[in-house]
Amino acid sequence: MPDTIDSLDAGPPELVEGIARVVEVAGAVAWLEPEQTTSCGGCAASGACGAKGLGTVANRIAARRFPLVDHPGLRVGERVVVGVRGDALVKAALTAYAVPLVTLFLGGGLAQWGWGQDATTIAGSVGGLFFGLVLARLGAGRLFASGASAPRFLRRVGQAPQTCQII
Amino acid sequence: MQEYVLLMVGAALVNNVILARFLGLCSFMGVTTRVDTAMGMGLATTFVITLSSMLNWAAQEYLLEPFGLDYLRTVVFILVIAGAVQFTEMTVRKVSPPLFQMLGIYLPLITTNCAVLGVALLLIEGKLTFIQSTLFAFASSVGYSLVMVIFAGLRERLALAEVPRLFAGPPIGFITASLLALAFMGFSGISTV
Note the pLDDT tens digit of each residue in A41-100: 555 555 555 555 444 444 456 667 788 877 777 888 888 888 888 888 888 888 888 999
Q: Quick check: B29 pLDDT over 70?
A: yes
Q: What is the pLDDT of residue B4?
A: 85
Q: Judge: A38–B36 Cβ closer than 8 Å, yes or no.
A: no
* pLDDT > 70: percent of chain B: 94
Contacts (Cβ under 8 Å, ≥6 apart) of A39: A51, B26, B27, B30, B31, B41, B108, B109, B110, B112, B113
Tell which residue, A121, A98, A97, has the closest CA to residue B58: A121
Q: Is B120 exposed, middle or buried (0-12, 13-18, 19+ CB in 10 A)?
A: buried
Q: Quick check: B92 pLDDT over 70?
A: yes
Min mean pLDDT across A19-23, B131-135, B156-160 is at A19-23
pLDDT higher for A19 or B141?
B141
Looking at the DSSP bridge assignments, the partners of residue A29 are A26, A69
Who among B27, B40, B93 is closest to A93 (CB)? B40
Residues of chain B contacting A123 with CB distance shorter than 8 Å: none
Any idea where the domains of chain A sit in the sequence?
A: 12-156
Count CB neighbours of B55 within 10 A. Answer: 18
Mean pLDDT in chain B?
Answer: 86
Q: Is there a domain that residue B154 lies in?
A: yes
Q: Is there a domain that residue B192 lies in?
A: no
Q: Is there a domain that residue B82 lies in?
A: yes
ipTM above 0.85, yes or no: no
Q: Is there a domain that residue B193 lies in?
A: no
A-B contacts at Cβ under 8 angstroms:
170
Residues of chain B contacting A94 with CB distance shorter than 8 Å: 43
Q: Is there a domain that residue B88 lies in?
A: yes
Min mean pLDDT across A46-50, A60-64, B83-87, B168-172 is at A46-50
Q: What is the pLDDT of residue B100?
A: 78
Q: For chain B, how many structural domains are there in total?
A: 1
Q: Is there a domain that residue B11 lies in?
A: no
Q: Judge: A97–B113 Cβ closer than 8 Å, yes or no.
A: no
Mutate to test the interface with B, among A39, A56, A82 (most CBs of B within 10 A): A39
pLDDT higher for A86 or A167?
A86
Q: Judge: B112–A34 Cβ closer than 8 Å, yes or no.
A: no
Question: Residue B29 belongs to what domain range?
Answer: 2-6+16-187
Most confident of A111-120, B27-36, B152-161: B152-161
Average pLDDT of the residues in B35-44: 86
Q: Judge: B105–A82 Cβ closer than 8 Å, yes or no.
A: yes
Residues of chain A contacting B156 with CB distance shorter than 8 Å: 166
Task: Compute the nearest-CA separation of A1 from chain B (Å).
Answer: 24
Q: What is the pLDDT of residue A127?
A: 93
Residues of chain B contacting A118 with CB distance shorter than 8 Å: 61, 129-131
The helix (run of H) or strand (run of E) holding residue B106 is: helix B97-106
Who among A39, A140, A166 is closest to B113 (CB)? A39
Check the CA dihedral A123-B103-B76-B10 and report its sign: negative
Who among A18, A104, A105 is closest to B105 (CB)? A18
The answer to whether A108 touches B134, Cβ cutoff 8 Å, is yes
Q: What is the pLDDT of residue A58?
A: 43
Q: What is the pLDDT of residue B175?
A: 93
Who among A38, A95, A118 is closest to B130 (CB)? A118
Q: Judge: B85–A36 Cβ closer than 8 Å, yes or no.
A: no
